[in-house]
Amino acid sequence: HLLLVGVLPAVVAAAYLMNRPRTVYLVDYACFLPSPSWRFPISTFVEHVQLMPFFDDPSVRFMARTLDRSGIGNETSLPPAQHHIPPRISLNDCRAEAEQVIFSAIDDLFAKTGIAPDTVQVVVVNCSVFAPEPSLADTIVRRYGLRSDVRSVNLSGMGCSAGVISAGLAAGLLRAMPRGRGGRALVVSTETITPNFYVGKERAMQLSNVLFRVGGAAALLSTAAEDKARARFRLAHLVRTTTAGADEGASYGCIFQEEDGEGNAGVNLSKELLSVAGNALKANITELGPLVLTLSEQLRFLWVVRPRVPDFLTAVDHFCIHSGGRAVIDKVQRSLGLSDVHVEPSRMALHRFGNTSSSSVWYELAYVEAKGRMREGHRVWMIAFGSGFKCNSAVWECIRPADHPDKAWAGCIHRYPVSKYPQTRT
């Protein structure tokens, strides 16, 4: 009996240590900074659509008016293929844009971390509408000479929420590795703009021309012991919510790639989008809340008579809300009761870079750090929305703030925040 009493606690402790999820660290990340030659100010956009033969005057006025009200500024970028009239959409142009964005972000990431590419065991890439063969993940493996047993995954069609999905998938693959072996995962999030220009007259499909801009980000996740000391963040929680089967098709169809009546392909952004996003956010925070909220806030939420949104300010210091558009940011701000300062990273990322799809949350995190607001122990909540419909959340805990602004913000952070919306044309 004495032996049992002495051994049992040790066995229980060992079993706990063996079965608890391994901590996943964010070693560092890097955001793509487009070349100045890619800049596409509002006046240039309006002039180009005026000169294109397939847009009538009402369409031009609609896109110009929407862009003026969008919160997008004059320093956003489009790929070289879309600087032509009409835009070029060849496979070579698509691949050229994707490789420029992806390789630049990865090069900056490896330069930041000093990690050799051949130590990466997992690669996860997401790009929704451009899925060439060989895949973009294969292109990365070839470019950087990654090991032959690397676990590479290429995600497509997952929409603007795919950045959080990729981080979650990479974390899961790292945790599934044999005990005693840490691993490193390269996560790349981007959207290729070149093939997405819509040339028809449906206004719900013209919105994508107005909102989406070039962007991309690369992040290095790790469970390796040697990376713990230099890691920047710890992944605290990741919650995914999909509402495709929750209604009669409103969620599934509110962001839909299709052809219009004249056979022109594009992405339809329906009027129900904001309502669907609000419902998906409610479902997501219902699951996330118990993981991050203080006990007192949970009890307060349970005991109130009228439904209310929990006060996430008791658990989160910074918010990185997908900058899908000014209306999306406004909706989340109202839903969560956030101040203008809390949504500033999202508004400024939208102003400076536009809707960069799945990489937007990384530009927002970089903004918070570039402004010097991050502190050790601070928690960051990434909220991403995407087709399907999906609302995904990732909560990161800061271990070590950045010493210097990320390249994407380094040359312009002193000009932000801008004071008002919308911006006038220049």
Question: What confidence tens digit (pLDDT) does each residue in 202-228 have?
Answer: 999 999 999 999 999 999 999 999 999
- Give Dmax (Cα) for the chain: 89
What is the residue type of 62? F
E strand or H helix at 73, and its extent?
Answer: none
Query: What tokens were used for 245?
Result: 């089967």
Q: Is the distance from CB of 206 to CB of 62 less than 8 angstroms?
A: yes
The yes-or-no answer to whether 25-230 and 237-413 have a common fold is yes
Write down the CATH number for the domain with range 237-413.
Answer: 3.40.47.10
CATH superfamily ID and name for 25-230: Thiolase/Chalcone synthase (3.40.47.10)
Tell me what pLDDT residue 52 has.
Answer: 96
What is the per-residue pLDDT across 27-52, written as a single tens digit (0 to 9) for each? 999 999 999 999 999 999 999 999 99
Q: What is the DSSP string of 6-21?
A: HHHHHHHHHHHHHHSP
Query: What tokens were used for 208?
Result: 């994508």
∠ Cα 197 80 356 (to 5°): 60
Q: Which residues of the chain have pLDDT under 70?
A: 1-20, 294-309, 420-426
Give domain limits for the chain: 25-230, 237-413
3-state secondary structure 150-193: CEEEEECCCHHHHHHHHHHHHHHHHHCCCCCCCCEEEEEEECCC
Placement of tokens 């844009």 in the chain: 97
Collapsing DSSP to helix, strand or coil, 34 comes out as: coil
Name beta bridge partners: 31.
217
Tell me what pLDDT residue 245 has.
Answer: 87
